[in-house]
Amino acid sequence: MSRDVYRVAQRLDFFRLMSMYFGGIGHYVGNVLTVFTVYFVCMLMLALALFDEETIGDRKLTPAGGIQMLLGGMGLLNTFPLFATLGVEMGWWASFMEVSGLLLHTKTDTNLKLTQYRRLFRFS
C-alpha cells in the first residue's frame, strides 16, 4: 500500500473507508473472488457428473426433464429482469422481440448484447 493511501485511510471514518475500498480495488477483488468461485463450482460439478458421483443424500441424482434443461440452458431466470427493464423502456412487444432475438442468436452475440444492455441501464 502506498504512503498516500495509508494516510488517507488513517483519516477516514469506517463508512467512508469502506466506500473508498469498494469503489476502488475492493470492487476488483470481489469480482475476482466471484469468478473463481463460479469457476470452482462449475469444475466441481463437471467432475461429479463425469465420475457419476452426483447424489442428493444417499440417492443418485436423476437428470431433469427436457423442458427444465431447455429453460435452464437458455438462462431464463437471468433474462426475466432484462425483459422487464426493456418492457418498461421500449414497450412489451418490442421487448419480447428483442429478447427472443437474443435467445435465438449465437452465444457470443448474445453476451455482447446483454453486456451492452447492462452497461446502458446501470450507468445511465
Report the pLDDT averaged over residues 3-17: 82
The pLDDT value given to residue 27: 79
The pLDDT value given to residue 20: 76
φ, ψ (nearest 5 deg) of residue 54: -75, 120
Each residue's pLDDT tens digit, 52-63: 787 777 877 766
Alpha helices (H) in the chain, listed in sequence order: 3-11, 14-23, 25-50, 66-74, 76-90, 92-104, 107-123
- Between 31 and 106, residue with greater pLDDT: 31
| CA angle (58 as vertex; 55, 61 as ends), nearest 5 | 30
- Is residue 31 predicted with pLDDT exceeding 50? yes
d(CA 23, CA 19): 6
Model-level pTM?
A: 0.40
d(CA 35, CA 38): 5
Each residue's pLDDT tens digit, 89-124: 888 998 888 878 777 765 555 566 666 666 666 544
d(CA 100, CA 96): 6
Domain ranges for the chain, please list them.
1-62, 64-124
